[in-house]
Amino acid sequence: MDNDDFFSMDFKEVVENLVTNDNSPNIPEAIDRLFSDIANINRESMAEITDIQIEEMAVNLWNWSLTIGGGWPVNEEQKIRLHYVACKLLSMCEASFASEQSIQRLITMNMRIGREWLDAGNFLIADECFQAAVASLEQLYVKLIQRSSPEADLTTEKITVESDHFRVLSYQAESAVAQGDFQRASMCVLQCKDMLMRLPQMTSSLHRLCYNFGIETQKNNKYEESSFWLSQSYDIGKMDKKSTGPEMLAKVLRLLATNYLDWDGTKYYDKALNAVNLANKEHLSSPGLFLKMKILLKGETSNEELLEAVMEILHLDMSLDFCLNIAKLLMDHERDSVGFHFLTIIRERFKSSENIGKVLILHTDMLLQRKEELLAKEKIEEIFLAHQTGRQLTAESMNWLHNILWRKAASSFEVQNYTDALQWYYYSLRFYSTDEMDLDFTKLQRNMACCYLNLQQLDKAKEAVAEAERHDPRNVFTQFYIFKIAVIEGNSERALQAIITLENILTDEESEDNDLVAERGSPTMLLSLAAQFALENGQQIVAEKALEYLAQHSEDQEQVLTAVKCLLRFLLPKIAEMPESEDKKKEMDRLLTCLNRAFVKLSQPFGVEALSLESRANEAQWFRKTAWNLAVQCDKDPVMMREFFILSYKMSQFCPSDQVILIARKTCLLMAVAVDLEQGRKASTAFEQTMFLSRAFEEIRTCNDIHNFLKQTGTFSNDSCEKLLLLYEFEVRAKLNDPLLESFLESVWELPHLETKTFETIAIIAMEKPAHYPLIALKALKKALLLYKKEEPIDISQYSKCMHNLVNLSVPDGASNVELCPLEEVWGYFEDALSHISRT
């Protein structure tokens, strides 16, 4: 066998395994392999397999693909691949082209698979399938011509072939449009159009296809192509008005007119107008009339022509809302004379309508937009009078009017014309009745309060805010205005309560106002404004509380750091003067919380720019020094002192690691270790003791790393810190019963320059509960005695104390213990002591 034979047999084996095995996880790989291999297979490469075997493979593969359910590891595209492979196999068989039925089967398969690939977005393979279908259709047509059959039967069969050809052409057009090939798509559609005389039942589908093409190309701003498709859709739709009604034809023409307008309203003005006129002729509707008015306004239409067009609308009995939209459209295009005249006509025409208020409201809106405020106020009075005398506005109209009045008030507020803003808000207030106090009413009261405050009319502002609080006390903005008024009045207690309430509302996840605050910026925006306002008005205590909340809740990095710095500058001088008390401890806790919040924000990325990194280092330097100074002030509270030193250490990690910073880090850690060891000594439970000692051990290791790095500079070779770290580490290891304690001490015994005090301390620690290492203690005391004896002159008092400790440790409770220390050795201690004492 040559390579092709092996290849084809292997392919056959994969197919057979696929259709005979159960749901296997390897199925997707097998399908992908078949799909990949089919491109390299032709009839010659499968010469050793008969047509019958190939057809059997294809049919089995096709049928098996139809049985695949939802539980199989096969996606939709892999199913399409199976169909494609089956169809390609079948097309290799000569028998597939021998009969009309076989050819028809291939046509059906290629059409279905091409459609599937088209829907899946694989247009190239889809085109391949469609082309194969066309070739098969041509073969089938030739066979029909060559066959002698009754004319009636032949005509029917020809129509069936042409119907399939029509569908293939429409599919090819879809593929071409998707690929942006307008020329190929239009050729396919025009071929289909030519076939409609013989296939009138296909008219509706081709009309819809062209319409869809028109929409799709218009979305992609391909206006020229869209115009072609929509024109074709209209022309084809006219061929069969039974299935395509006048409403649909008018819809196509309106879309065509809009397309011309969007393409170039000036250049294609006539075409757009002709299209919309034709649409209105097919089916008159409000969208068509509105579009016609838009087109007329795009051109150089005179006011007389426009007036004639709007009068035509009135004669057609269009709705009030539609007429108002036309009036607004006219005035939006600066055709005021026609627009206002039309409004007057509308008002007279619909004077008995319950919605007549809409006309007056629109009239008011248009007047305000044109700065005709006096006339607008007349209209408002007219609306109010009608509202009070039985012609009440609907809820929709009322909201519309309020929006207009508030918009006008807001524009006056922006230019600091607060008196004018109040007038418009007052107009809005007049339309509220006692039983209509909704949330918008409280917002109105707050807006008026803001104007009164800016006009320094405090009493009126208080009345407005009190009214808002009565109806909506849990509103953040209401509380903010309560706060502002309290600050202005110098009522610190009331201001503080408002700040606390404000903070509670802002942190309440279920509060309905939080979304509104978030739309205007950070939810902590009001806290920032409150702090600033309190400071501007000399209310420092209130400002401190606002700053504290701001630091706690703000997500803005810079805002938090600024708030904490500002708060610290206020509190530090006061705390420094406070005597030790519970109040001072509370203030220290407060500062610690704020500093930790600053650390969290410093830990967040600042950005990649050098300036941002420098800014972070500068901020950290300030906070580091502040935390250090606070730690120094906590000499009466070691636990609090440790917290500030650790915080200072953490802050220093954002600073450049120069010598000054490294020394500061080392000192912070040493102080923290000292406190943790003391806490460990006082711990009431073994668990607490282990926790403190373990924490101290981590700090010691970090401190050792810093110390060793500094030693490399040669400046700190005789630093006493090394001995302190040695003793700290020994205490931790001894009390944690560290198995590496002996190996740690091996290096300690060899260290030069250790003093007697160090060895004596080691001995004490070795026997301090929970540690119990008498042998280590003995060894340390012996080394201390050796150092004492080398002194000139000997300090007999210290020597004597050390000897006492040695003897007591050697003979506990006064009884001999030969296992710990032989009596002869103890006797030697006494003789040595007597010798030195006698010489002094």
- Domain boundaries along the sequence of the chain: 661-754, 776-839
Which of 160-174, 452-466, 509-523 has the least mean pLDDT? 509-523
Most confident of 461-465, 610-614, 746-750: 461-465
Q: What SS3 state is found at 350?
A: coil
Q: Can you give the pLDDT at residue 687?
A: 93
Q: Can you give the pLDDT at residue 786?
A: 81
Q: Can you give the pLDDT at residue 837?
A: 74
CA–chain centroid gap for 603, Å, is: 21
For residues 622 and 301, the model is more confident at 622
Contact of 541 with 492, CB cutoff 8 Å: yes
Q: State the Cα–Cα distance between residues 597 and 602, nearest whole angstrom.
A: 9
Which of 233-247, 431-445, 754-768 has the least mean pLDDT? 431-445
pLDDT in tens, 328-385: 999 888 898 888 888 888 888 887 777 778 888 999 999 998 889 999 998 899 889 8
- Mean pLDDT for all residues in the chain: 86
Residue 508 clears pLDDT 80, i.e. is over it: no
Residue 611 clears pLDDT 60, i.e. is over it: no
For residues 784 and 164, the model is more confident at 164
What percent of the chain is predicted at pLDDT more than 70? 92
Residue 262 clears pLDDT 70, i.e. is over it: yes
Contact of 233 with 226, CB cutoff 8 Å: no
Q: Can you give the pLDDT at residue 1?
A: 40
Taking the CB of residue 751, how many other CB atoms lie within 10 A of it?
A: 11
Is residue 752 reached through a cis peptide bond, with omega within 30 degrees of 0 on the bond before it? no
Q: Can you give the pLDDT at residue 2?
A: 44
Region 89-104 average pLDDT: 80
pLDDT in tens, 560-587: 999 999 999 999 998 888 888 888 899 9
Closest C-alpha among 105, 90, 83, 209 to residue 164:
105
Query: What are residue 244's phi and psi, to 5 degrees?
Result: -120, 100
Q: State the Cα–Cα distance between residues 545 and 329, nearest whole angstrom.
A: 53
- Quickly state the pLDDT bin for 610 (edges 50, 70, 90): very low
**Residue 118 belongs to what H/E stretch?**
helix 100-120
Q: Can you give the pLDDT at residue 216?
A: 95
Q: What is the dihedral of CA 122, 125, 127, 131, to 10 degrees?
A: -160
Residue 517 clears pLDDT 60, i.e. is over it: no
Q: Can you give the pLDDT at residue 445?
A: 94
The CA-atom distances, in angstroms, between 198 and each of 202, 302, 635 are: 9, 49, 104
Is residue 793 reached through a cis peptide bond, with omega within 30 degrees of 0 on the bond before it? yes
Q: Can you give the pLDDT at residue 569?
A: 93
Q: State the Cα–Cα distance between residues 354 and 348, nearest whole angstrom.
A: 13
For 94-117, give the DSSP string. GGGGTSHHHHHHHHHHHHHHHHHH
pLDDT in tens, 613-652: 888 899 999 999 999 999 999 988 999 999 999 999 999 9
Region 731-760 average pLDDT: 86
Closest C-alpha among 406, 205, 201 to residue 189:
205
- Quickly state the pLDDT bin for 436 (edges 50, 70, 90): low
pLDDT in tens, 753-808: 788 898 888 888 888 888 888 888 888 888 888 887 877 787 777 878 888 887 78
Q: Can you give the pLDDT at residue 520?
A: 44
Q: Running DSSP on this structure, what letter comes out for residue 242?
A: T
Is the pTM value of this prediction over 0.75?
no
Residue 6 clears pLDDT 50, i.e. is over it: no
- Quickly state the pLDDT bin for 5 (edges 50, 70, 90): very low
Closest C-alpha among 360, 323, 353 to residue 338:
323
Residues with Cβ within 8 Å of 493's Cβ and at least 6 positions away in sequence, in order, are: none
The CA-atom distances, in angstroms, between 113 and each of 38, 51, 121 are: 15, 22, 12
Q: State the Cα–Cα distance between residues 355 and 484, nearest whole angstrom.
A: 42
Residues with Cβ within 8 Å of 416's Cβ and at least 6 positions away in sequence, in order, are: 454
